[in-house]
Chains A and B, each alone.
Chain A
Amino acid sequence: MFIYYIKKVIRAKSFLFWNLAFPLILMTCMHFAFGNIYNIENNISPMNAVLVSVGEGNYQESFETVMTELSSDDADRKLFELSYADSIDSGRAMLEQDAEVLFVVTDDDISVTLAKKHSSTAGAVARGVTNSFRQRYALMADAFESDPASAASVLQMITEEAEQSFAKPADNVFSEEPNPYTWYFYSTFVMAIFFDSMSGVNIVGDLKADVTREAMRFSVSPSKKSRMIILAFTARLIPCLLIAAVQLAVMKLVFGLSLGTDPVKLIIFVVSAVIFSIGFGVMCGLLFKGNVESRANKATAIVMTSVFLSGEMIMQIPGLFEKYCPIINDINPATVINMAFYKMAVCGNDAGFYLNIIKIIGLAVLFLVIGVIILRREKYASL
């Protein structure tokens, strides 16, 4: 019986497509679309830069200080291998050799010239640094006049800002711009797990005689309902877990994503999230009316809405909810699962991880208890 249940599940093309193939396709597309961002975010190697100061003033001196800080081996994130040139011509000559970017700073402005062969990150970094400096210089000039001591802290601020622009703090998962590369991948993985809800809906279809004719055969047979529930649930759970394992392996080995440092926590997360999703599907299957397809369609609508609100397409959404209406993040299942995963894999935030896991397990148990009570019913008011 169990083997047939498993066969039934793994032969369902829609199950394999939505739970396995679609998330992997989406991840592959995202890898090509956002792989460069990942490089900017994580793999910026210091670029060769040439600085030419034309004249001697506070503006040039301040910029030179910022560039020196960003080129220092002691910097949190070293962005430049900095060389100096006496003139613009010699700077350009160096640009034609091995430098990637030329900064020419005058009394009141900075010009940026990129080498013909420059990396895609060079322009973004150079512009980011110069723009940050321009915006903050007025503040710094005031500080020089009124309180020279505070000018140093403004300079520090500019340096830190430039460093942070290219190294987002990972623990701020509700920041307006969380790390997009990891965020979209984790959201997609969570979406794939949440698609397991369809398995829950199908369990209802397997066992409720007022939903499918096949279930009617179960109800009239001498097989005990509790046994059928365990068989149906286990036969759905195992393929879902295997699929999640495949996806995690691809995320780790192909896309180079962090899955955290503790495999036990990862297993706890995956098992509880899959059970939660199946339980959620069981609840949807029981609450909605109509045939299995109709119930599954309604459940899909809820799952997709939940996934959308968790930031699968627009990653800033959960950050906005956290700011204006945090309860939505607390009750949105996809966000709760997403947060548990993100906090485990990226932030190493144990408290946050376990809080979300407790929520997931609590709801999973609740859904399954209600589900089992209703599914064990033997007689119906109507069929």
Chain B
Amino acid sequence: MAEILKVTDLVKRYKELIALDHFDMSVNEGEIFGLLGPNGSGKSTCINCIMSLLTYDKGSIKIFGKEMSPKEYDIKSKIGIVPQDVAVYDSLTVYENIDFFCGLYITDKEKRKKYVQEAIDFVALNDFVKFKPKKLSGGLKRRLNIACGIAHKPKLIFFDEPTVAVDPQSRNKILEGIEQLRKGGATIIYTSHYMEEVEQLCDRVLIIDKGHTIAEGTIDELKGMIKKSEIITIEASGVDEKDIEAVRELPNVYSVDYKDNCLKVEAGSGKHNVIDIVNILQDKGYRMKKIFSEQPTLNDVFLELTGKQLRDE
């Protein structure tokens, strides 16, 4: 797959604050690339530098193999952005907004008309084309925001936290839409601090914090970077401290917590972790009500790599 975006050694300072510290990033054609990090980690700064909106102190940004600059109109014409805040005009209708922003890229009226209609179909705003944005719900506004960013059929699309303050139904529609765009041949860069979305959507993820790359790879690769690979929870009443200690001494187990008749065990990779724990408890005659095992989330990855929660807001 061709490399569509390459960021090398990017440094951006706001006076004393280093927003991006020798930051590297690479995105391949056709993938959905997740940029994951807590608020203030540098995600939006990174996107704004890539889009040539922000000056930066050092580094290089190449898009479609060319160095990006504000005068690179050819590159700009192939890029779409869906900003974090809804960026539409309240005095124009839904149709007019999409047509207006599409007009920044497409000058041919007939072609634009077709593209605008396709964008409206894509975000399912057909019933609202004559509505002013003020009359739309939060979710519909977000869909309009997306339509304005993708109507000109860009090859590279930046989604900057597009699902903030959106109801679950609209969120699912937005995520489905992003998947469809990828199927249509677009490359997506998706920033969020919602790890579930990133896990669901992205082929590769870069975790950023304080302007540094914490980790980068596929979801499985990221999860493989931490020693915790399984969280086993067993409901059993009256477990002795002696038996808890026996569980703790099992190979791969590195953390055991017993609270409210609930035994929570964090274990590294091992084929028989659950069976080994259940055997100990069965041998001692404990009755177990519920047993379940979870894979670690990206939040666990972030927690282990940085020592703090991803949603430290």
Q: B87 near A213 (CB under 8 angstroms)?
A: yes
Given A217-B101, A222-B104: A7 and B96 within 8 A (CB)?
Answer: yes
B86 near A: Cβ within 8 Å?
yes
**Shortest distance from the beta carbon of A2 to any chain B beta carbon, whole Å:** 10
Q: Is the CB of B79 closer than 8 A to any CB of chain A? A: yes
Task: Find chain B residues with CB under 8 A from A382 CB.
Answer: 14, 54
Q: State in angstroms the CA–CA spacing of A294 and B302 once bound together.
A: 39
Known A-B contacts A4-B99, A380-B53, A383-B48; A217 and B91 likewise in contact (beta carbons under 8 Å): no
Task: Note all chain B residues with C-beta closer than 8 A to A224.
Answer: 73
Q: Which residues from chain A contact B85 at a C-beta distance below 8 Å?
A: 213
5 contacts between A and B (CB under 8 A): A4-B103, A216-B53, A217-B148, A222-B105, A378-B71
On whether the beta carbons of A4 and B53 are closer than 8 Å, the reply is: no
User: Total number of A-B contacts with CB less than 8 angstroms?
Assistant: 81
Number of interface residues of A (CB under 8 A): 25
- Which of B14, B53, B86 has a CB less than 8 Å from the CB of A219? B53
Contacts of B74 in A (CB 8 A): 222
Interface residues of A in 1-35 (CB under 8 A from B): 1, 4, 7-8, 11-12
Q: Is A221 part of the binding interface, using a Cβ–Cβ cutoff of 8 Å?
A: yes
Q: Are A214 and B54 in contact (CB under 8 A)?
A: no
Write out the residue numbers on chain A whose beta carbons fall within 8 Å of the beta carbon of B296.
none
A-B contacts besides A11-B92, A217-B83, 6 pairs, CB < 8 Å: A213-B87, A218-B104, A220-B51, A221-B77, A380-B54, A381-B14
* Minimum distance in angstroms from B222 CB to a CB of chain A: 29
Main secondary structure of the interface of B (DSSP, over half): loop
Q: Which of B268-312 contact A (CB under 8 A)?
A: none
Q: How large is the interface on B (under 10, 10 to 19, 20 to 34, 35 or more residues)?
A: 20 to 34
CA A220 – CA B148 in complex, angstroms? Answer: 13
Contacts of A379 in B (CB 8 A): 52-55, 70
Interface of A is mostly: loop
| Chain A minimum-CB-distance residue to B74 | A222
List A contacts of B55 (CB < 8 A). 379-381
Tell me the bound Cα distance from A265 to B53 in angstroms: 44
Q: Which residues of A contact B52 (CB under 8 A)?
A: 219-220, 378-379
B76 proximal to A (CB < 8 A): yes
- Give the distance to chain B from A314, nearest Cβ to Cβ, in Å: 37
Answer whether residue A212 sits at the interface, using C-beta atoms and an 8 A cutoff. yes
Q: Which residue of B lies closest to A225 (CB)?
A: B70
A209 within 8 A of B: yes
Q: Which of A7, A220, A383 contacts B92 (CB 8 A)?
A: A7
Q: Please pick, from B76, B91, B99, the residue contacting A221 in the complex, using a CB distance under 8 A.
A: B76
Instruction: Return the chain B residue nearest A2 by Cβ.
Output: B103
Minimum CB distance partner of A13 in chain B: B91
How long is the Cα–Cα vector from A162 to B152 in the complex, in angstroms? 76
Please list the residues of chain A having a beta carbon within 8 angstroms of any beta carbon in chain B: 1, 4, 7-8, 11-12, 209, 212-214, 216-224, 378-383
Contact A217 B87 (CB under 8 A): yes
Q: Which residues of A contact B87 (CB under 8 A)?
A: 212-214, 216-217
**Closest residue to A5 on the B side, CB-wise?**
B100
Contacting residues, chain A, for B103 (C-beta < 8 A): 1, 4
A209 to B103, CA, bound (A): 18
Give the residues in chain B near A220, CB-CB below 8 Å: 51-53, 76, 79, 81
Q: Distance in Å from the Cβ of A312 to the closest Cβ of chain B?
A: 29
Say yes or no: A217 contacts B14, CB within 8 Å.
no
* A150 shortest CB reach to chain B, Å: 72
The answer to whether B88 has its CB under 8 Å from any CB of chain A is yes
Q: Which residues of B contact A1 (CB under 8 A)?
A: 100, 103-104
Q: How far is the CA of A380 from the CA of B56 in the complex (A)?
A: 9
In this complex, which of A214, A216, A223 has the most chain B Cβ atoms within 10 angstroms of its Cβ? A214
Which residue of the partner chain, among A7, A219, A222, A223, contacts B91 with CB atoms under 8 Å?
A7
Report the minimum CB–CB distance from B95 to chain A (whole Å): 11
Contacts of B92 in A (CB 8 A): 4, 7-8, 11
Q: Are A221 and B148 in contact (CB under 8 A)?
A: no
Distance in angstroms between the alpha carbons of A214 and B92 in the assembled complex: 12
Enumerate chain B residues within 8 angstroms of A212, measured Cβ to Cβ.
87
Q: Is A221 a contact partner of B100 (Cβ separation < 8 A)?
A: no
For B96, give its contact among A4, A209, A213, A221 (CB under 8 Å): A4
Q: Which residue of A lies closest to B88 (CB)?
A: A214
Task: Check A222 against B73 for contact (C-beta < 8 Å).
Answer: yes
Q: Which of B132-166 contact A (CB under 8 A)?
A: 148-149
Kindly list chain A residues whose C-beta atoms are within 8 Å of the C-beta of B105.
Answer: 221-223
CA separation between A212 and B55, bound complex, in Å? 18
A379 CA / B69 CA spacing, docked (Å): 9
Choose among A212, A220, A381 the residue with the greatest number of B CB atoms under 10 Å from its CB: A220
Query: Are A222 and B88 in contact (CB-based, < 8 A)?
Result: no
A11 and B149 alpha carbons, distance in the complex (Å)? 23
By beta carbon, the residue of chain A nearest B87 is A213
Contact A209 B91 (CB under 8 A): no
User: Do residues A223 and B54 form an inter-chain contact, with CB atoms below 8 A?
Assistant: no
Which A residues touch B104, using CB under 8 A?
1, 217-218, 221-223
Query: Which residues from chain A contact B81 at a C-beta distance below 8 Å?
Result: 216-217, 220
Q: How many angstroms from the CA of A263 to the CA of B113 in the assembled complex? A: 44
Contact (A213, B86) CB under 8 Å given A220-B53, A222-B104: yes
> In this assembly, does B254 line the interface, its C-beta being within 8 Å of a C-beta of chain A?
no
Cβ contact within 8 Å between A8 and B89: yes
